[in-house]
Structure 1
């Protein structure tokens, strides 16, 4: 069985792709490689450097299922160039879905975002609540979801709304809360917390990749939209966890962003999926990688910084 993975050289894709290969799948990995290519060589892996906006550059011949990860990731990056964000995260998704349907590809797994709900007062943010996205990133995810669901009569569509992912990847991200705070503690012995009471949903890298693999293996047994986030934790609690392990101090400053996000993933858990990793595991793994010299604070591990320095600078 051959799987197309878009965004395969990204933070999640670089972990998911080896997991697919280990499970016995063939993988065609498509990515612009803006942040590099950290994928291992493998006889069942074909790596294609291509932009999802160039529909003809993506060869769908022989593909049985698609895992669509490619997007302009996170709010700050999405707001940098709204036109680029809409082209990559919405229009390209529509074109890919349309081509998949026309070619008879029967399975499409889409990586949306838990942030499509916007700010909710409810303690339990479930899949049936209204979507009220507030950034370009969130809006494109919502639109892409709607487009894909319109194809649900023609192919199996599974949409995953991940919480903030944490933990190690060869193509690391150090601009997401758990990873960011842990690296601050490691490099400065000090963590700066803005506010701290804001709650964020989290999921370990290994678990979100296991969710995509689970969706692929379950096939038509599960359909529709699923939240994927198992720990709703305040920013202060995350900082305290990292500080305790590292021996760092915490400095609290005022925040102009008091928003909290929570997700409820009971729908996914009810299908039989079980998480195996935690935020605390992610912190411990980052510390170990840093202390061994395997992880360093590099510019390309910060999406906004790297896009300003490379992608958008070259486009100017």
Structure 2
């Protein structure tokens, strides 16, 4: 198949694209490359440096499926410039979906976020619960979902609400919980936990990228799917890090009470199974750091990098 992947140079995209190529697909990797390009050349890979807001730069001719990953990722970055966030994460999604329908794209996979639920006291957050997005990032993801679902009679629509992703990518992120705590331990011998009792759902980067491949190859599974398999307290994650890295854990007060857990039974019913855990991610990160592969680079922190280099 010929695939058009937006956000292809991002944290998930940089892991996903090689997997798609391994499966024999032809991939057009579209990305504005704010954080660089860590994808290796491949005969079936076409790199396009472009802005998803400029629909004229998007060529979907002959494309069988779109995997739409691009957005202004995470709450702090989304709040930096709300107008930019809405343009990229909502308006551009609408234009992309409309273009896909017009040229006859058969399948559209949209990367939403588990954060669209907002703060929930529900013991099991399932896909049919009402959404209460709090930040610009959450709100644009919810709107993006509604837009893409409006095309479900025109093409196969599959929406993924990922938990917080962890693990290694060549375009690393060190501003997400597991990765951040592990790097703190590796670099400083100390882990600072704010609060610690907040629960967060997690998913390994290999599992979330495997899921996109699974959905691509199984278009019969349509609709919205949660994707998170370990609901852990931040304190528990810090303790796991401590099992692999000798570091002091310091707990300080937090003004962030957000705590939520997701239920992924609907996804498991499709036959998809995760293969890795948070512990695997921590162990892999520690090993790659000791080998000098994983480094503490400024571009691995989205908020600071956007403030200093993008906006």
Q: TM-score, normalised by structure 1?
A: 0.98
**Counterpart position of 1:165:** 165
1:269 aligns with 2:294: no
1:210 aligns with 2:210: yes
Q: Secondary structure at the match of 1:213?
A: helix
> What whole-Å deviation, never above 9, does each CA across 1:248-290 have from its counterpart, x for those lacking one?
0100100001210210000000010000000000000000110
| Cα distance in structure 1, aligned partners of 2:212 and 2:293 | 26
Q: Secondary structure at the match of 2:130?
A: coil
1:141 aligns with 2:108: no
Q: Secondary structure at the match of 1:140?
A: helix
**Counterpart position of 2:286:** 287
5+ residue gaps, structure 1: none
- Give the drift of 1:169: 0.2
Q: Secondary structure at the match of 2:108?
A: strand
| Cα distance in structure 2, aligned partners of 1:26 and 1:244 | 41
| Cα distance in structure 1, aligned partners of 2:276 and 2:229 | 10
**Counterpart position of 1:254:** 253
- Give the drift of 1:244: 2.0
| Cα distance in structure 2, aligned partners of 1:147 and 1:43 | 34
- Give the drift of 1:213: 0.3
Q: TM-score, normalised by structure 2?
A: 1.00
- Give the drift of 1:61: 1.2
| Cα distance in structure 1, aligned partners of 2:19 and 2:71 | 21
1:308 aligns with 2:307: yes
**Counterpart position of 1:244:** 243
Which region of structure 1 is more displaced relative to structure 2, 169-178 or 242-251?
A: 242-251
**Counterpart position of 2:295:** 296
- Give the drift of 1:62: 1.2
Q: Secondary structure at the match of 1:110?
A: strand
**Counterpart position of 2:41:** 41
Which region of structure 1 is more displaced relative to structure 2, 13-22 or 54-63?
A: 54-63
| Cα distance in structure 2, aligned partners of 1:140 and 1:232 | 24
> What whole-Å deviation, never above 9, does each CA across 1:51-82 have from its counterpart, x for those lacking one?
10010101111100000000000000000000
Question: How many residue pairs get matched?
Answer: 311
| Cα distance in structure 1, aligned partners of 2:177 and 2:122 | 22
| Cα distance in structure 2, aligned partners of 1:243 and 1:105 | 47
**Counterpart position of 1:105:** 105
**Counterpart position of 2:87:** 87
1:224 aligns with 2:223: yes
Q: Secondary structure at the match of 1:66?
A: strand
Q: Secondary structure at the match of 2:249?
A: strand
- Give the drift of 1:309: 0.7
> What whole-Å deviation, never above 9, does each CA across 1:79-113 have from its counterpart, x for those lacking one?
00000000000000000000001111110000000
**Counterpart position of 2:15:** 15
| Cα distance in structure 2, aligned partners of 1:145 and 1:105 | 18
**Which aligned runs of 4 or more in structure 1 are off by greater than 6 angstroms?**
none
Cα RMSD for the two superposed structures: 0.5
| Cα distance in structure 1, aligned partners of 2:130 and 2:211 | 23
| Cα distance in structure 1, aligned partners of 2:151 and 2:259 | 33
5+ residue gaps, structure 2: none
| Cα distance in structure 2, aligned partners of 1:62 and 1:310 | 35
**Counterpart position of 2:2:** 2
| Cα distance in structure 2, aligned partners of 1:150 and 1:15 | 29
| Cα distance in structure 1, aligned partners of 2:15 and 2:114 | 20
Q: Secondary structure at the match of 1:35?
A: coil
| Cα distance in structure 2, aligned partners of 1:51 and 1:128 | 33
